[in-house]
Each structure stands twice: as C-alpha cells, then as structure tokens.
Amino acid sequence: MSVMENIKSEFKTRNFSIYGQWTGILCVILCIAVGIANIFTFNAGIIIFSIICLVTGLLIIFLEVPLLLRICPTSSKFDEFIRKFHSNWGRAAFYLIASTVQWLSLVTKRGTSLIAAAVFLLFAGLFYLLAAVKKQEFMGSKTLGGGGIAQMIV
C-alpha cells in the first residue's frame, strides 16, 4: 500500500484524532515558519510570542511523530512530559492552551502572522476535543510512526 493510499484510508475512518494529528503536522510547519518570520521584529512582545511559537512547533514534532521519541536522544523527563499528552483529552488541552497563548499575541496591539498559528492550533485542539467527546480511541497515523512503525524499530 502506498503512502497516499494509507493516508486516504486513515482519513476514511472518520476518527477525529487522525484529523487532529495531521492538522498538528501543519501546525509544526506553520509555528516554525511564523515563529522565525516574527522573531526579527522590533517589538519585544512579538519576539516573546515568536519564541513561544517556535518552542510549541518543536514540541508538537515530538508529540505527533512518536518515532522521534525512539530515535532522538531525549531525557526521561522530556519523554514523560510528552507522554502526558498521549490521550485525546491531553492533546486537546495542549493545543487549545497553545492556541490561546498565540491569540494573546494580539495584546501587543499588533496583528501578526502568529494569528495563523493560533487558528491552526485551535483547529487541531478542536479535532482532538471532538475525538474525546465522541469517545473515539486515540488513533495515531501509521505514516507518522504510530501503530507499528515505531515498535518495529525497537
């Protein structure tokens, strides 16, 4: 089965945690991109929110691609922290808090592209929240290292 067929079959399951996970991958790209783009401003508040956005993007990489926890040298405390967000409820909380923090960048009285990150983080959080409310089991994408790939490496 090709990667595209695998992704297509995962989306057909109608499990909102899959939608949340793929939206999370978009959040990684967006958070890193807008974090870097806004860090070069002359506004201290925007710089702080940009750094937070960059850190959020890096955390999401480890959250959404479990294979990386197996192959990257990380501390046991970091691994423990990431594992706290293994459930749909935990991930919904993480994304909704991260989104709220980026929305707070508006208090600098300057709208920036950090709002795009806030919107996508909100979507990911809502997907995980829907999965939790509907009592759907957390389902990690096989393409991103869930459901078998990470276990085969160890």
Q: State the total domains in the chain.
A: 1
Does some domain include residue 10?
no
Does some domain include residue 135?
yes
Closest CA to 119 of 50, 26, 40, 46: 26
Closest CA to 114 of 128, 97, 101: 101
Does some domain include residue 99?
yes
Query: What does the pLDDT average to over 136-149?
Result: 66
Tell me the whole-structure pTM to 2 decimals: 0.84
Query: What does the pLDDT average to over 49-57?
Result: 96
pLDDT in tens, 89-130: 999 999 999 999 999 999 988 889 999 999 999 999 999 999
Query: What does the pLDDT average to over 57-68?
Result: 89
**Looking at the predicted structure, is the pLDDT value of residue 146 above 80?**
no
Range of 120's domain? 15-153
Does some domain include residue 64?
yes
Does some domain include residue 5?
no
